[in-house]
Structure 1
Amino acid sequence: MTRFTTAATAGHVFFELAAGVGMPLASVLGPFTAATAWAAGTWTAWCAAATRPARDDPVFAVLDSISFAAVIGHLAGWPKRRTRLGTPWLTDCEGPGPRLMPYYNPILYISGTAAAAAVLLENRSVPRRLPLLSLPLVPLLVVAQRAEHRRLKAIAEAHPAWWNRRLLATARSGTERRGWHPD
């Protein structure tokens, strides 16, 4: 499950890049360096998760729980509606726009479900409360997501490029609902 979490989280991050809204850390490191760091981190975690000894369980428990906290942060911190099942369905999140949100939501739910399963089913040598320590990260991750989004929009306005094209279009058209983002 940790490998699946790693792959699903990478899918989420690289979907954002392909969608033209950037990716985490792109506003700080630049898109190439951020993508390289994410790819290297994903590959490292993927390989290590396949052959890890039990002594590495705490590292993977933290990795899985942070991935889960990031998904909770998305669902808690961005505009949403409720589905018929009562689950949150994001209507906007970091700029993909209404056309891509039907794809973004399942990607988010897949990565969150994988992370939750990894937290619950793997890393058995770790105290069960260790993953709970990541829950206080949720509000911090919401703040970080919003700050990254603001920086990426500013970069898109100043330096339009392929990797931030959707943010530029959103910023110029004014289609974002400002009331949803208490920046």
Structure 2
Amino acid sequence: MARTAPVPDVRARFAAGAPGRRPLTRAAVGGLAAHVFFELGAGVGMPLASVVGPYPAATAWGLGTAAVWRAAGRPSPSADRLLAAANGFGLAAVVAHLAGWPTRTRFGVPWLRTCEGLGPDLMRYYNPIIYVSGAACLLAILRENRTAPVALPALMLGLAPALVAMQHAEHRRLKARARRRRAWWNRRL
């Protein structure tokens, strides 16, 4: 009679908090990438596009996303500080959007009416992206990266007021650039 090898518990390998697996952090960084690339695809630019142009900005965001994604999949506690900071920064960006742009209350939470040149017609898509990425950031802070100092994500969250100012400055620069030179990536501004 042939012996069969024991079947490994695949669920444990992919569980949140399992060594080397940070699915919530990956969801957070994926959501943040979806957020900035949604803005680009919708024709309102993306962070850094007013300074370096859309292609270098998209490259920087893509490479940054890939680096954090990769770090979130490695079994190294040394990445916990970086990932906790990334999750805190992502949560700060979501808070900055909700605090810095016009909202209304929907489902008992603030719901963006417009944001960075995106009109009301796109908010039904944009708001869920913002909320899912924010929830993933918060859950990752609470469940993953346990060797990182607790204060690190809190310090990053403290950047929210500065991010509001940066978002509005970037939006002004993007609108000025769109007036000078209209293109596919700034067509809504």
TM-score by length of 2: 0.86
Distance in 1 separating the partners of 2:149 and 2:181: 47
Deviation at 1:52, TM superposition (A): 4.2
Task: Report if the CA contact (8 A) 2:71-2:79 is conserved.
Answer: no
Could you give the per-residue CA deviations for residues 19-61 of structure 1, whole angstroms, max 9, x where no partner exists?
0000000001100000011111111111121014002111110
* Paired AA for residue 50 in structure 1: G
Distance in 1 separating the partners of 2:75 and 2:68: 10
Distance in 1 separating the partners of 2:98 and 2:75: 31
Deviation at 1:113, TM superposition (A): 0.7
- Root-mean-square deviation (CA, aligned residues, Å) is 0.9
Deviation at 1:129, TM superposition (A): 2.4
| 2:104 aligned residue | 81
* Paired AA for residue 82 in structure 2: V
Indicate yes or no: 2:74 matched with 1:51: yes
Unpaired runs of 5+ residues, structure 2, are 1-23
Bigger Rg over Cα: 2
Higher helix share: 1
For residue 55 of structure 2, the aligned residue among 22, 29, 32 is: 32
| 1:23 aligned residue | 46
For residue 123 of structure 1, the aligned residue among 138, 145, 152 is: 145
Could you give the per-residue CA deviations for residues 76-119 of structure 1, whole angstroms, max 9, x where no partner exists?
00000011x32000001001111111111011101101111111
| 1:42 aligned residue | 65
* Paired AA for residue 156 in structure 2: S
Distance in 2 separating the partners of 1:100 and 1:119: 29
Name the count of aligned residue pairs. 166
| 1:97 aligned residue | 119
For residue 63 of structure 1, the aligned residue among 76, 82, 86 is: 86
| 1:144 aligned residue | 166
Distance in 1 separating the partners of 2:131 and 2:159: 19
Unpaired runs of 5+ residues, structure 1, are 168-183
TM-score by length of 1: 0.88
